[in-house]
Amino acid sequence: MSTLSAIYGTAHAILSNFFVTPPVPQAHGDMSKLIYIVTGANTGLGLELSRHLLRLGVGKLIMGVRSPSKGEAAKRDLLTSTKRKESSVEVWTVDMDDYSSIKAFAKRVQTLPRVDGICANAGMMTTTFSLSEGIEKTLNVNVVSTFLLFFLLLPKMREHEQTIGTRTHFTVVNSGLHYTAKHKELYPTHDILDRLNDPKKADMDNRYPLSKLLVLWMVRELAAQGTSMPILNSPNPSFCQSGLLREDDSAFARIAEKYLARTTESGSRTLYHAQFAGPESHGQYLANCHVQKPASHATSRAGQVIQRQVFAELLEKLENIEPGVTSSLKSSMTQKVKA
């Protein structure tokens, strides 16, 4: 972590929340045929993004939720506030901490006639180490499972471009905390993901910021492949009253959230923007509804080495989870090299 980068990230968040108001989302033409998917849609940023999409007329919203009962309650809230018909919203179960659930969800997505946008909003923050699917839980949910979902849906997103003629947007929610991520766990630059699963060495205070740095690297590396891709971007909604700090009941956290955080609705505007941003947003980190320069350690020469290494390790891990899931990407990469 660069000290200057951490200072910049902190100052940017504070100044953004006090002096920048993200623009109110507006409709993009006739949206009645569009289908959008939002994971973690029953609460926080996901719920407010869903409200914007419905209010502005998307034809179908798929709410990806871990708890069907909470999803149905959120659906009723959305229908009441937007005056939309019940058929405009469907609640689908997906647990981003369970590979079988993600696979079943992705298989169900294949039945949709089109997929115009996917917001991978479901994520977690914890300082308690635990393993899930053999991987530290924060790393599993925020990184491994998120990109498992991406690759499972990549054929569908390519089909959408071929049949509909427009590129799907795949948005992975990021955080300004990636500016503060420490690097010591990333060295030496081999077997990085496996080392992050060592309970004796894991720096859990750094794990959430590090997971968002890894997300940024994966988005950038995928965009750099030069293959047929959806528009892939990573917006930072800034510090919001989203419930992410639910494990931290300290007085400082409560005061910070009350006086420094954006409302969840305000933060969700940045996610809406990312779902309609142009090709200039592909592979980019976004803040305040603009392309933003990420942390210097994300783009430095050393950072690029780690980016490529983690990407290779992630592909291998995803192949172990679902053999063949990354084959379309690897095939395209091989063709690119031959050309």
SS3 233: strand
User: Which tokens is 174 given?
Assistant: 């990021």
Residue 24 neighbours by CB distance under 10 Å: 10
User: Which tokens is 182 given?
Assistant: 């420490």
User: Which tokens is 112 given?
Assistant: 């949709």
User: Which tokens is 119 given?
Assistant: 């917001």
User: Which tokens is 23 given?
Assistant: 């623009």
C-alpha to C-alpha distance for 178 and 137, rounded to whole angstroms: 18
C-alpha to C-alpha distance for 6 and 2, rounded to whole angstroms: 6
- Residues serving a catalytic function are 208, 212
Residues near 108 by beta carbon (within 8 Å), at least 6 away in sequence: 92
| Cis status of the peptide bond prior to 113, with omega within 30 of 0 | no
User: Which tokens is 38 given?
Assistant: 């939002």
DSSP state at residue 240: B
Judge residue 276's burial from the number of C-beta atoms within 10 Å of its C-beta, 0-12 exposed, 13-18 middle, 19 or more buried: middle
Q: Where in 155-245 does DSSP place strands (E)?
A: 169-172, 231-236
